């Protein structure tokens, strides 16, 4: 067994919700074990009754929270490979919050390790879960690999009070709710190594050595990688907006799939000026589009394409992406449906009062390039010429409506909203649209990408 890493509680990295949230292991992978650190009657143990939602069968708030957390942990476990179980200790606590912004959660590795047997690079620190994978043994058995906490106050008075957590497992959070599944996945990502250990006050390397994450950082204006910079240069690079890049080969290979947030063939990292504690450096740049899971602020329906490839770059190896339907592919904006047009694959007739109709996204494949393997579309919904006020519902073709509306509309006014539209799970590529009003309304649907 190699040398154990420096053992202490490391700084956590924060996912903040900025502004009001209004117009979201497998046997062949890695076992991820969740430890409930909440006390009786709180957090994961909150007995408040709750109706099952979005595939979550829990009947109390606490049970639903734990089911979401276990599902997010399993999503990572399915994609990663490790012979050593990954242990995550988690709880809900009151975190920094106001009516308009909040810390949603924070997490990080419990210990880090260097110069152990199996380490790819000497004198380089690896977070506990990754070090265990590489070593093939538990280097810090007395400690959980990751510690995490989430804000128990979201949706209460004075804390994003017009919002709240969404406990569904389907990533179909209403526009004024925060998808807990995505937030938990984000925070576990930090604990798995999506973070730099460099001192953010001095620019100094952690204990004088590189870490697996910072080895892949480069400042374009200095034309230097972080391991080769002075402390002062690294400190300056932390606020060099647009010039702090990820140069790892796996993530860089997919740079062409992003329409912004890319420079010189590299994906940009978050480096605002002034420095943002808990967010700078250890996230993708907010300029990146399509949006990624590991950006500093919550973005509904974010992709995990670059995020998973970054994990490969730091030492996790090739992730099992074939086991999940969450790899994102952008498309040139394309109109899938417009009921104002004559009848046909793209056309009418107008949606009648209280009518539900089924459409086939694959009929537009020659125009939009949506493959039969697509599972979810990133879309823009628009309604127009409504006779009476109501709401529009859009959902997968072979499932019942789950209670989420995509647009509330008024008489005559055109309304639009971005979102994610799941397709039928039977492979037919169908989706349903309901006009929940007593009058007719036209519906327009534009697609900008798909998950596979």
Burial, 407: exposed, middle or buried (Cβ in 10 Å; 0-12, 13-18, 19+)?
buried
| Span 337-365, average pLDDT | 84
pTM flag (> 0.75) = no
Q: 241: alpha, beta or left, given left = phi > 0 and alpha = psi -120 to 50?
A: beta
Kindly report the backbone phi and psi dihedral angles of residue 148, in degrees, each rounded to the nearest multiple of 5, phi listed first: -145, 150
Residue 223 CB neighbours (<10 A): 9
Pairing mode of beta strands 86-93, 146-151 = parallel
**pLDDT computed for residue 412 by the predictor:** 84
**pLDDT computed for residue 122 by the predictor:** 96
What the block records as the tokens of 199 is 């001192």
Tens-digit pLDDT profile for residues 352-368: 999 999 888 876 655 68
Q: Which band of pLDDT confidence, cut at 50, 70 and 90, is reported for residue 302?
A: confident
**CA-to-CA distance for 361 and 350, rounded, in angstroms?**
18
| Span 142-171, average pLDDT | 93
**CA-to-CA distance for 324 and 316, rounded, in angstroms?**
17
**pLDDT computed for residue 14 by the predictor:** 45
Kindly report the backbone phi and psi dihedral angles of residue 58, in degrees, each rounded to the nearest multiple of 5, phi listed first: -60, 145
Cα pseudo-dihedral 229, 233, 238, 242, rounded to 10: -90
Tell me which residue of 363, 380, 452 sits closest to 421, measured CA to CA. 380
Burial, 49: exposed, middle or buried (Cβ in 10 Å; 0-12, 13-18, 19+)?
exposed
Say yes or no to pLDDT of 17 above 60. Answer: no
**pLDDT computed for residue 23 by the predictor:** 24
Strand residue runs (E) in 167-317: 178-179, 210-211, 217-219, 224-225, 244-246, 262-263, 266-268
**pLDDT computed for residue 134 by the predictor:** 97
DSSP letters, 299-331, are -TT-B-HHHHHHHIIIII-S--GGGSS--EEEE
What sign results for the dihedral spanned by CA atoms 17, 165, 167, 394?
Answer: negative
**pLDDT computed for residue 47 by the predictor:** 97
Tell me which residue of 76, 78, 91, 87 sits closest to 129, measured CA to CA. 87
Q: Which band of pLDDT confidence, cut at 50, 70 and 90, is reported for residue 228?
A: very high
Tell me which residue of 381, 294, 285 sits closest to 339, measured CA to CA. 381
**CA-to-CA distance for 124 and 175, rounded, in angstroms?**
42
Residue 242 CB neighbours (<10 A): 15
Burial, 430: exposed, middle or buried (Cβ in 10 Å; 0-12, 13-18, 19+)?
middle
Non-local CB neighbours of 292 within 8 Å, separated by 6+ positions: 284, 302, 303, 304, 305, 306, 307
| Span 24-47, average pLDDT | 81
Whether the ω angle into residue 290 lies within 30 degrees of 0, i.e. cis, is yes
| Span 196-204, average pLDDT | 96
Say yes or no to pLDDT of 16 above 50. Answer: no
What sign results for the dihedral spanned by CA atoms 184, 187, 193, 194?
Answer: positive
Q: How many CA atoms lie within 13 A of 300 on its CB side?
A: 23
**pLDDT computed for residue 388 by the predictor:** 93
Say yes or no to pLDDT of 18 above 60. Answer: no
**pLDDT computed for residue 329 by the predictor:** 66
The average confidence (pLDDT) of the chain is: 86
| Span 264-291, average pLDDT | 95
Q: Which band of pLDDT confidence, cut at 50, 70 and 90, is reported for residue 328?
A: low
**CA-to-CA distance for 24 and 177, rounded, in angstroms?**
7
**CA-to-CA distance for 269 and 260, rounded, in angstroms?**
12
DSSP state of 388: S
Percentage of the chain beyond pLDDT 90 is 61
What the block records as the tokens of 279 is 């967010």
């Amino acid at each position: 067994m190699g040398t154990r890493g420096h053992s202490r509680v490391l700084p956590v990295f924060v996912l903040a919700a900025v502004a009001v949230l209004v117009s979201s292991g497998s046997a062949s992978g890695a076992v991820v074990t969740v430890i409930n650190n909440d006390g009786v009657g709180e957090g994961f143990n909150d007995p408040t009754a709750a109706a099952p939602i979005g595939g979550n069968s829990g009947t109390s708030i606490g049970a639903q929270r734990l089911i979401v957390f276990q599902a997010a942990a399993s999503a990572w476990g399915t994609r990663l490979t490790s012979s050593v179980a990954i242990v995550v200790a988690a709880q809900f606590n009151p975190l920094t919050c106001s009516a308009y912004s909040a810390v949603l959660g924070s997490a990080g590795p419990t210990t880090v390790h260097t110069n152990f047997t199996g380490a790819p690079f000497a004198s380089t620190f690896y977070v506990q879960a990754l070090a265990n994978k590489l070593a093939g043994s538990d280097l810090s058995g007395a400690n959980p690999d990751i510690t995490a906490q989430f804000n128990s106050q979201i949706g209460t008075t004075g804390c994003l009070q017009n919002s709240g957590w969404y406990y569904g497992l389907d990533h179909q959070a209403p526009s004024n709710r925060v998808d807990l599944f995505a937030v938990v996945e984000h925070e576990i990502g930090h604990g798995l190594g999506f973070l730099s250990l460099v001192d953010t006050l001095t620019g100094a390397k952690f204990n004088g050595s590189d870490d697996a994450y910072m080895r892949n950082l480069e400042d374009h204006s200095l034309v230097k990688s972080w391991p080769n910079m002075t402390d002062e240069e690294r400190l300056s690079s932390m606020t060099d907006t647009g010039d702090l890049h990820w140069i790892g080969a796996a993530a860089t290979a997919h740079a062409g799939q992003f329409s912004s947030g890319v420079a010189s063939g590299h994906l940009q990292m978050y480096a605002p000026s002034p420095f943002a504690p808990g967010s700078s450096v250890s996230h993708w740049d907010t300029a990146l589009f399509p949006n990624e899971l590991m950006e500093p602020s919550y973005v509904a329906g974010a992709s995990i394409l670059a995020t998973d490839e970054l994990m490969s770059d730091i030492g996790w190896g090739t992730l099992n992406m074939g086991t999940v339907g969450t790899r994102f592919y952008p498309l040139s904006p394309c109109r899938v449906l417009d009921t104002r047009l004559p009848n046909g694959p793209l056309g009418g007739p107008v949606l009648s009062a209280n009518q539900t109709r089924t459409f086939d996204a694959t009929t537009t494949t020659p125009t939009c390039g949506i493959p039969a393997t697509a599972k979810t579309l990133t879309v823009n919904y628009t309604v127009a010429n409504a006779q009476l006020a109501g709401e529009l519902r859009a959902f997968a073709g072979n499932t019942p409506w789950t209670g989420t509306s995509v647009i509330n509309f008024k008489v005559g006014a055109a309304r639009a909203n971005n979102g994610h539209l799941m397709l039928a799970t039977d492979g037919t590529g169908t989706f349903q649209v309901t006009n929940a009003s007593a009058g007719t309304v036209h519906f327009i649907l534009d697609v900008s990408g798909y998950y596979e």
